[in-house]
Structure 1
């Protein structure tokens, strides 16, 4: 009974976090819109048509994949961030349910609590590319004041004050060609978070570096391929190297603690060094 309550509480947290971010993204989109040239159906549409014409003799599956990748590419960094958060949330939800429903690993599912909460600090990123009004609308929903949005090329900045008067700033740099975003969060001028992800040939890789109020630092690393993937956790003394996009699906397994799922097989090393391996059967309330 206790395991079921913990599992449901964790799932509720992830669902609320995802719903919260989706609501803010909708609020942001209502406050501003990207220019026509950045929209999938805007000026770039003829380019897609031209590519389709050039590839008439190509393998149909490869052609369809390439067209899908072009037409489905995010038009703003905020949309890219939303897509990544959705993929990340799905993987974490599956791994959490797997651990929470397997005898002997129920408490290990709590390791994911920190990584789930980090996305809240990245809420301003949902407004990247949408302008001042969108950022003010989204952060106003959180009670933020003195919101200042700026962008230059592929670099973005959003400053604001919370209800306690603390000054926050989120800096972002987006590589549209690679669909890669790197953010640095600051509180009263001090770095507290480095958050990045990149598209890869198999899906996404992600990395989060956090610095606590006591100056303790942790890193979370992710590799995502649909519902398969891996998540790793480590306590560190310095920020890890930036992502390159060449990371593999086993990238997070360099962490002290990690969990992975492929199909229905779950493997991992727990925080106390136990090796685990079991077959996951989704719980009824996870479907």
Structure 2
């Protein structure tokens, strides 16, 4: 049945993401193991000129992704993205299962496929801050070719060639203080995606602007708090304003179509304006 296939597709995407993150973690750990001669290993590190740090200067304008003074803060942009992707995956999987497992809402679970599939375009972000070697290991595992990784301060870029020969680049800027990442993607030089998230007092808020090959564009708005959260979607002609971090957990409900889960309570408004409200019963498969 298509609902089972829908859940399976989402599970495959998030399992694939988890595998890539695990591979990157192993590659990063291996890269950081000292050699027998206790010499630093520079292989696989991006060719970025780093200026000597002036201890008396103000470095607030050029954050370095080298750890944080805040307790529990991610050590790298890659770790930050991993944390966000896990939180997003938990909520989207529950929402998808809730909609697909309810006979009256099964069709609407298809609305979540777009916000799931766009994560495939974000896989290069899993290597931000980990270097060329880690990027080659993880992204090469997916069969990507001509991988080029660069970083400068808190700015990152990963380029590669797709199977169809088209050139793809994902650029990202990580704000360690806010634990936020904003990315832009380009396909053959044309802007095709803006993806950003920010840590908040309740969890995460995120916004995605995705442009199709035909020029159509969709906006996805997301907010998560533990395993509760909401996802909104709308067709737009222009990129929305950037996130500020002051958005509430109801931020996605600004969209004409949205779905939310709070405990076992599922609410939403469908693409045809139908209001939803039911109790989620987890599937057994």
Alpha-carbon shift at residue 35 of structure 1 (Å): 7.5
- Do residues 182 (structure 1) and 182 (structure 2) align? yes
Partners of 1:142 and 1:243 in 2: CA distance: 31
SS in 2 for 1:129: coil
Q: Deviations over 1:174-231 (max 9, x none)?
A: 0111110011010100010100100000000011100001100000000101111110
Asked if the contact 1:7–1:96 (Cα under 8 Å) also holds between the matched residues in 2, the reply is no
Match of 1:110 in 2: 110
CA RMSD of aligned residues (A): 2.0
Partners of 1:73 and 1:13 in 2: CA distance: 32
Map 1:178-217; keep pairs closer than 5 Å.
Answer: 178-217=178-217
SS in 1 for 2:183: strand
TM-score in terms of structure 2 length: 0.84
TM-score in terms of structure 1 length: 0.83
Alpha-carbon shift at residue 120 of structure 1 (Å): 0.5
Partners of 1:38 and 1:29 in 2: CA distance: 16
Flag the 1:38–1:154 CA change in 2: closer, same or farther, 3 A.
closer
* 5+ residue gaps, structure 2: 34-63
- 1:9 aligns with one of 2, 5, 10: 5
Alpha-carbon shift at residue 26 of structure 1 (Å): 2.4
Map 1:56-75; keep pairs closer than 5 Å.
Answer: 70-75=70-75
Select between 146-155 and 136-145 the one with higher mean Cα deviation. Answer: 136-145
Alpha-carbon shift at residue 255 of structure 1 (Å): 0.4
Match of 1:20 in 2: 16
Partners of 1:258 and 1:197 in 2: CA distance: 18
Partners of 1:146 and 1:159 in 2: CA distance: 8
**Which has the larger helix fraction?**
1
- Do residues 230 (structure 1) and 230 (structure 2) align? yes
Partners of 2:204 and 2:189 in 1: CA distance: 30
Map 1:52-201; keep pairs closer than 5 Å.
Answer: 70-201=70-201
Alpha-carbon shift at residue 85 of structure 1 (Å): 0.9
Asked if the contact 1:145–1:160 (Cα under 8 Å) also holds between the matched residues in 2, the reply is yes
Q: Deviations over 1:104-144 (max 9, x none)?
A: 11100110111111111111100000011111112211222
* 5+ residue gaps, structure 1: 48-69
